[in-house]
Chain A
Amino acid sequence: NAGVTQTPKFQVLKTGQSMTLQCAQDMNHEYMSWYRQDPGMGLRLIHYSVGAGITDQGEVPNGYNVSRSTTEDFPLRLLSAAPSQTSVYFCASSPASLGYEQYFGPGTRLTVT
């Protein structure tokens, strides 16, 4: 198993540009989520999904969209990047939404200039 994979590893965007961060898992996990991590801080939940076709907002959803068309993939879209979205983004998956550890991907470091 590759586990949770994320692409790209690094990305630089100009303000106003759009892009999609990719996340995939091969563990047949129902639950997937996106977090952002800013310097000196813990991870904050952006969006999550409890299964294909079901998504919901986390703590900091503004400026981000998600969709879950398959169990394996959970892309995160930035429609109009802003400097405040400069961060490291982590995708995670879990067998279920409650009571299980979440497996994290290696992260995508995004810089918005």
Chain B
Amino acid sequence: GESVGLHLPTLSVQEGDNSIINCAYSNSASDYFIWYKQESGKGPQFIIDIRSNMDKRQGQRVTVLLNKTVKHLSLQIAATQPGDSAVYFCAENPWGGKLIFGQGTELSVKP
């Protein structure tokens, strides 16, 4: 079946460094991908999205890269800050609004 998974369950970075969180997806029909950030005790918050007709999309301090050839998605956070500490989920939207979430990566930022 379809699945979205993350390569690393935890990531620890130094404040100011860049962070890269990776995600693999298996459904080649997916045409929309989202990254969510979830802080402890809260619901997921939208970070950035990308459609399958794009390879890269940039936001404020975040960049999402999509490699459809190898079904790989990544989230890059520039100049990581302590406030970026959270669990990050990728999700794919293959059809009918059924978002399929990956397991999540916990990002820990050391001051």
B87 to chain A, nearest CB (A): 9
Count of residues in B whose CB is under 8 Å from the partner chain: 27
Alpha-carbon separation in the docked complex, A101 to B90 (Å): 12
Confirm or deny: A31 has a beta carbon within 8 angstroms of a beta carbon on chain B: yes
Determine the chain A residues whose CB is within 8 A of the CB of B36 once the complex forms.
104
Selected from B49, B99, B104, the residue in CB contact (under 8 A) with A41 is B104
Determine the chain A residues whose CB is within 8 A of the CB of B104 once the complex forms.
40-42
| Chain-B contact segment, one of A12-20, A69-77, A90-98 | A90-98
Q: Please provide the chain A residues from 4 to 29 with a CB less than 8 Å away from any CB of chain B in the complex.
A: 4
Alpha-carbon separation in the docked complex, A107 to B38 (Å): 12
Whether the Cβ atoms of A98 and B101 lie closer than 8 Å is no
Determine the chain B residues whose CB is within 8 A of the CB of A102 once the complex forms.
34, 46, 97, 99
Selected from B43, B96, B103, the residue in CB contact (under 8 A) with A97 is B96
Whether the Cβ atoms of B89 and A43 lie closer than 8 Å is yes
Count of residues in A whose CB is under 8 Å from the partner chain: 28
Whether the Cβ atoms of B98 and A58 lie closer than 8 Å is yes
Alpha-carbon separation in the docked complex, A60 to B42 (Å): 22
Whether the Cβ atoms of B42 and A42 lie closer than 8 Å is no
Confirm or deny: A68 has a beta carbon within 8 angstroms of a beta carbon on chain B: no
Whether the Cβ atoms of A90 and B44 lie closer than 8 Å is yes
Given known A98-B93, A98-B96, A99-B51, contact A107–B101 (CB-CB < 8 A): no
Determine the chain B residues whose CB is within 8 A of the CB of A59 once the complex forms.
98
Alpha-carbon separation in the docked complex, A43 to B99 (Å): 9
If A40-B9, A45-B99 are given as contacts, then 12 extra A-B residue pairs at C-beta distance below 8 Å, sorted by A number, are A35-B101, A42-B89, A42-B104, A43-B44, A45-B100, A50-B96, A98-B96, A99-B51, A101-B49, A102-B97, A104-B43, A107-B43
**B residues lining the A interface (CB < 8 Å):** 4, 9, 31-32, 34, 36, 41-46, 49, 51, 89, 91, 93, 95-104
